[in-house]
Structure 1
Amino acid sequence: MTTSSENTVLTSRGDMALIAARVVEQGHEEAFQGWARDVLAAAATLPGHLGGGLFRPVDDGGPWIVVHRFRDRDALGRWLKSPVRQLLFAHQEHHHEVARRELAGLEAWFAEPGGTAPPPPRWKTAVSSAIGIFPISLLGSLYLTPSLTALPQVARTAVFALLFSVLMTYAAMPVVTRVLRRWLSPGTPSRPVHKESPP
């Protein structure tokens, strides 16, 4: 990282990820996808929701994965207690939840959707995060910072922080965790995950 304000994006991450695995009865996959899209759309209307996605099963008959990201634990709590969620979950048919995980901050980058293995040791997550941080910080310093010199310091930092967060979450860390999967979680095979809809 190049500045202390940028470093806050990493060290002060308070966002939460809610990962739920659901088994769908054969022949009801299309109806389930419609229900899941309604759930994702409803969650997206609440303050503090950062995005979500639906992941297809890796194996035939395996669980579908529904992922939400929230700004903090309070935002997650509002979604879990929201009337619209209660209504949607009261009308679920031919599918049921088999596992749920709530992950905070950096843990969400290292969690395998639907997996039950614990997150890697903190020193491994720190090393892996540094690997992801370095190219983004380097390229940002070389190409982004000179283009933002006309902006006030606060606006410049906000733009960098937003781009950094997006690139770390959706570009750098997925690659790093995939490449280092065997080192991060020895004995856990790398398995591709196919997204039904982008976060």
Structure 2
Amino acid sequence: MNLAPGVIAIAHRVKPGLEVAFEEATRGVILAASTFPGYIGSDVLYPTTKRGQWQLILRFDTPEHLREWEESPICQGWIARAEALTIDRPRVMRVNCLEAWFALPEIPIAPPPPKWKTAIVSAVGLYPVISFMPGFLRPITSALPVWLANLVNISIMMPLMTWVVMPQVTRLFKGWLYPSK
């Protein structure tokens, strides 16, 4: 069995006036997916404008578990329900964990940047976080065993990287990561 996670990002443009129904359908998809083996989480990226795209990101522990979900009648039913609420067919991307850091809602169907570029930009975002966060947290973690202090640091750093630092760094380097044709 593959040890890499299975991650899928699905972008939809919702028909005007059906946003509430689509949001309910999205919650239903997440609830249904959460009952499947290997489900590890999801995110919804809301559109920045009324005509923008909604993005649903589903994560499973392996690509095999993701495939089981995608091929299930339950998933197919939710897809049909969601598609009835959208303007066009969804755009679907399969990404690895680091590629998810480089997803920009304003560029929903772009192929991921080359790995060497993602490594450089990841280092740019990660360096200040790993340099300053442990010192900043030291008053809280100094009395803890080393393994627990590291766990606290990582538990704060990873969400910070995922939802704060990398979206900003990716936007900063957008022109280099996603050059115009």
TM-score by length of 1: 0.71
CA contact (8 A) 2:104 2:167 kept: no
In the alignment, structure 1 residue 111 sits paired with structure 2 residue 97: no
How many residue pairs align between the two structures? Answer: 175
In the alignment, structure 1 residue 132 sits paired with structure 2 residue 122: no
Residues 124 and 54 (structure 1), Cα distance of their counterparts in 2 relative to 1, 3 Å cut: closer
Once the two structures are superposed, what CA deviation does each residue of 1:42-95 show, in whole Å capped at 9, x if it has no partner?
3345554233114226463x5432222344434433432455434433544333
Alignment correspondent of 2:30: 40
In the alignment, structure 1 residue 178 sits paired with structure 2 residue 168: no
Higher relative contact order by CA 8 Å / sep ≥ 6: 1 or 2?
1
Give runs of ≥4 in structure 1 deviating > 6 Å: none
Residues 160 and 78 (structure 1), Cα distance of their counterparts in 2 relative to 1, 3 Å cut: farther
Residues 77 and 161 (structure 1), Cα distance of their counterparts in 2 relative to 1, 3 Å cut: farther
Residues 168 and 75 (structure 1), Cα distance of their counterparts in 2 relative to 1, 3 Å cut: farther
CA contact (8 A) 2:6 2:63 kept: yes
TM-score by length of 2: 0.77
Identity percentage of aligned residues: 34
CA contact (8 A) 1:50 1:71 kept: no
Gaps of 5+ in 1: 1-12, 189-199
Residues 143 and 14 (structure 1), Cα distance of their counterparts in 2 relative to 1, 3 Å cut: farther
1:38-117 alignment runs, 5 A limit: 38-46=28-36, 47-56=38-47, 58=49, 60=51, 62-82=52-72, 84-92=74-82, 93-95=84-86, 97-113=89-105, 115-117=108-110
Q: Secondary structure at the match of 2:180?
A: coil
Shift of residue 108 of structure 1? Answer: 1.3
Whole-angstrom distance in 2 between the partners of 1:55 and 1:71: 24
Alignment correspondent of 1:192: none
CA contact (8 A) 2:6 2:64 kept: no
Question: Over aligned residue pairs, what C-alpha RMSD do you find?
Answer: 2.9
